[in-house]
């Protein structure tokens, strides 16, 4: 693979054992809906524990385009939404980040109108928004899809509605909550997503004066209120970043203490690591210790599913780990159509992986050898780093802008626990 001279890359000399302790960053998939939620607040909000991520920067740029004054100070972001002057999200910013669709519900909730482009598909296959559109139409929003744009308006304001989701979509659940908090009447969401990021969003909105109950369960009830004020809130820790570092420790047969992590948010991931032979201790409510110093074996089968099941976002890193375990592991990906692209990178390192549609079969090997790799999506990129930590000799990874979307200084953190890794 010819890499253009000067292309930013990560260089890893694999084979070393990781050991030490790390503090886990705030959650990317929480900070994005939280920043969107500030559009609804007629006042100033401050969010703490905000990771330095390009996706968070993009969300702040959208807020500033809307007329909300957004400013970062270290790990805190303040947003003053006294005035929302604009209801259109610029095309280039919509394209920069697919998850900017989550601004739709908040802008509609505040201004009853919005114009934005269809969110770009991404590396994980088509990213439809039919559930978002179905629900918002039920809430009285006229949505016209024309020339790649969504033109939305609610002349009679947003109405509460009874909504059943065909599947527990995280983004659709978030958009419905954001549109419903200042709607006329009550909204019920059935078959709602139960991810911890939904609970975090509801907790922030309730601090602002919303009336949301049932967040984190399959049925969420939102009683519309007149208006919301601002609030201060600390973003939950990133469960997928935590799972990533646990996989990095496990693949190098090392040991690691993770701080500022809620082990309950990865309750489907920890048993899989134990099944492989890792020793896991959770303590002090916000720490996880992993010891992977002994012979590990394949966990036979990993099937992704909506929370509280095994998270699809952790599947790539676990496939990297499974590539180095004695035995065979079958991965079944039930959430996204095209989420095995990282397998090609692992095969370049010498992994034995067969992919057929949404099933991948991994035959573990005790030998991977460094290669030149390219990240094609966020978690796939993190998984390539994970695999390269095990591979003998040197690996290079380009496409690191994908990784910067969701990891705050992954190179610095891995270096801190003994990895031979650097930006070049
Ligand atoms: C969120 O994406 C996360 N992103 C994703 O994390 C995560 O993988 C996903 O939830 C599932 O947990 C953010 O929170 C910013 P969905 P989202 O709507 O909301 C289909 C990462 O790496 N669907 O729950 O887009 C959809 O195609 C990212 O951090 C419809 O068919 O996920 C997918 O197959 C990747 N119609 C499935 O549902 C819809 O209207 C789950 O999508 C909406 C979704």
Q: What does DSSP say about strands 232-234 and 44-48: parallel, antiparallel, or unpaired?
A: parallel
Residues 270 and 398 in one domain: yes
Report the atom number in ligand 1 closest to the C-alpha of 55.
15
pLDDT at 1 over 90: no
Residue 254 lies in a domain: yes
Q: How far is the CA of 28 from the centre of ligand 1 (A)?
A: 13
DSSP 4: P
- Per-residue pLDDT band at 3 (split at 50, 70, 90): low
Is residue 288 lining ligand 1, measured as CB closer than 6 Å?
A: no
Nearest C-alpha neighbor of 216 from the set 174, 272, 270: 174
Q: What is the pTM assigned to this prediction?
A: 0.97
Two tokens, residue 410: 């992954």
What DSSP assignment string belongs to 328-345?
Answer: EEEEE--S-SS--THHHH
Count: domains in the chain = 2
Residue 164 lies in a domain: yes
Residues 159 and 179 in one domain: yes
Nearest C-alpha neighbor of 376 from the set 413, 415, 348, 351: 348
Residues 230 and 344 in one domain: no
Residues 374 and 418 in one domain: yes
The predicted model gives 303-310 an average pLDDT of 98
Specify whether the CB–CB gap between 258 and 266 falls below 8 A.
Answer: no
Residue 5 lies in a domain: no
Q: Which helix (H) or strand (E) holds 303?
A: strand 301-303
Which residue has the least CA distance to atom 16 on ligand 1? Answer: 169
Which residue has the least CA distance to atom 18 on ligand 1? Answer: 169
Residues 371 and 264 in one domain: yes
HSE-up of residue 77 (Cα within 13 Å, Cβ side): 27
Q: Could you report the per-residue pLDDT of 25-38, keeping only the tens digit for each?
A: 999 999 999 999 99
Residue for token pair 């994005």: 32
Give the 3-state DSSP-derived string for 188-227, with helices as H, strands as E and coil as C.
Answer: EEECCCCCHHHHHHHHHHHHCCCEEECECECEEEEECCCC
Specify whether the CB–CB gap between 314 and 240 falls below 8 A.
Answer: yes
Out of 171, 199, 234, a domain closes at 234
pLDDT at 94 over 90: no
Residue 268 lies in a domain: yes
Residues 211 and 281 in one domain: no
Residues 257 and 220 in one domain: no
The predicted model gives 271-279 an average pLDDT of 98
Q: How far is the CA of 82 from the centre of ligand 1 (A)?
A: 31
The predicted model gives 318-331 an average pLDDT of 98
Specify whether the CB–CB gap between 269 and 280 falls below 8 A.
Answer: no
Q: What positions carry a catalytic annotation? A: 122
Out of 234, 250, 284, a domain closes at 234
Which residue has the least CA distance to atom 9 on ligand 1? Answer: 170
Nearest C-alpha neighbor of 358 from the set 411, 305, 283, 279: 305
Q: Could you report the per-residue pLDDT of 139-164, keeping only the tens digit for each?
A: 999 999 888 889 999 999 999 999 99
Residues 139 and 73 in one domain: yes
Residue 100 lies in a domain: yes
Which CATH number does the domain housing residue 131 bear? Answer: 3.65.10.10
Residues 161 and 248 in one domain: no
Residue 167 burial (CB count, 10 A): 11
Two tokens, residue 107: 């802008």
**How confident is the model at residue 181, as a pLDDT?**
98
What DSSP assignment string belongs to 208-274?
Answer: TT-EEE-BTBSEEEEE--S-B---EEEPPB-HHHHHHHHHHHHHTT-EEEEES--GGGGTTTHHHHH
Q: For residues 106 and 126, what is the distance between their CA atoms, to the nearest angstrom?
A: 23
Q: How far is the CA of 417 from the centre of ligand 1 (A)?
A: 32
Label residue 387 exposed, middle or buried (CB < 10 Å: 0-12, 13-18, 19+).
buried
Q: Could you report the per-residue pLDDT of 215-266, keeping only the tens digit for each?
A: 999 999 999 999 999 999 999 999 999 999 999 999 999 999 999 999 999 9
CA dihedral 149, 154, 155, 156 (to 10 degrees): 170
Residues 318 and 384 in one domain: yes
Is residue 18 lining ligand 1, measured as CB closer than 6 Å?
A: no
Residues 261 and 281 in one domain: yes
Nearest C-alpha neighbor of 35 from the set 211, 205, 213, 221: 205
Question: Ligand 1 test: best mutation among 96, 170, 265, 407, most atoms within 8 Å of CB?
Answer: 170
Residues 230 and 242 in one domain: no
Q: How far is the CA of 170 from the centre of ligand 1 (A)?
A: 6
What DSSP assignment string belongs to 372-398?
Answer: EEE--SHHHHHHHHHHHHHSBSEEEEE
**How confident is the model at residue 6, as a pLDDT?**
81
Residue 1 lies in a domain: no
- At residue 8, φ and ψ (nearest 5 deg) are -60, 135
Out of 234, 264, 297, a domain closes at 234
The domain in which residue 348 lies consists of: 10-21+238-423
Is residue 266 lining ligand 1, measured as CB closer than 6 Å?
A: no
């Amino acid at each position: 693979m010819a890499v253009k001279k000067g292309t930013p890359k990560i260089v890893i000399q694999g084979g070393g054992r990781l050991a030490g302790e790390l503090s886990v960053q705030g959650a990317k998939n929480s900070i994005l809906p939280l920043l969107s939620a500030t559009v609804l607040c007629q006042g100033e909000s401050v969010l703490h524990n905000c990771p330095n991520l390009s996706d968070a920067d993009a969300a702040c740029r959208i807020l500033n385009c809307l007329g909300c004054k957004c400013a970062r100070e270290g790990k805190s972001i303040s947003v003053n939404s006294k005035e929302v002057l604009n209801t259109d999200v610029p095309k280039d910013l919509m394209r920069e980040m697919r998850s900017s669709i989550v601004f739709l519900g908040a802008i509609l909730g505040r201004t009853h109108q919005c114009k934005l482009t269809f969110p770009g598909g991404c590396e994980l296959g088509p990213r439809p928004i039919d559930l978002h559109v179905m629900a918002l139409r039920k809430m009285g929003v006229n949505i016209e899809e024309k020339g790649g744009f969504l033109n939305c308006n609610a002349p009679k304001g947003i109405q509460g509605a009874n909504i059943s989701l065909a599947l527990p979509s995280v983004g659709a659940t978030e958009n419905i909550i954001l549109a419903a908090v200042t709607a006329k009447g009550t909204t019920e969401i059935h078959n709602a997503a139960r991810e911890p990021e939904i609970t975090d969003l509801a907790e922030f909105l309730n601090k602002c004066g919303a009336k949301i109950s049932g967040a984190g369960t399959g049925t969420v009830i939102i009683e519309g209120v007149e208006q919301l004020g601002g609030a201060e809130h600390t973003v939950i820790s990133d469960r997928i970043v935590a799972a990533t570092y646990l996989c990095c420790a496990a693949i190098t047969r090392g040991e690691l203490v993770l701080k500022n992590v809620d082990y309950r948010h990865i309750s489907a991931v920890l048993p899989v690591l134990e099944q492989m032979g890792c020793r896991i201790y959770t303590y002090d409510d916000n720490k996880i210790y992993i010891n992977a110093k002994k012979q590990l074996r394949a966990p036979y089968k990993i099937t992704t599913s909506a929370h509280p099941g095994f998270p699809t976002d952790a599947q790539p890193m676990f496939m990297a780990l499974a590539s180095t375990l004695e035995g065979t592991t079958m991965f079944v990906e039930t959430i996204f159509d095209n989420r095995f692209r990282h397998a090609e990178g692992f095969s370049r390192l010498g992994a034995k992986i067969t992919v057929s549609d949404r099933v991948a079969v991994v035959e573990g090997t005790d030998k991977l050898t460094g290669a030149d790799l390219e990240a094609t999506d966020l978690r796939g990129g993190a998984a390539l780093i994970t695999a390269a930590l095990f591979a003998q000799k040197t690996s290079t990874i380009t496409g690191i802008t994908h990784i910067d979307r969701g990891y705050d200084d992954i190179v610095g953190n891995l270096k801190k626990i003994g990895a031979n890794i650097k930006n070049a």
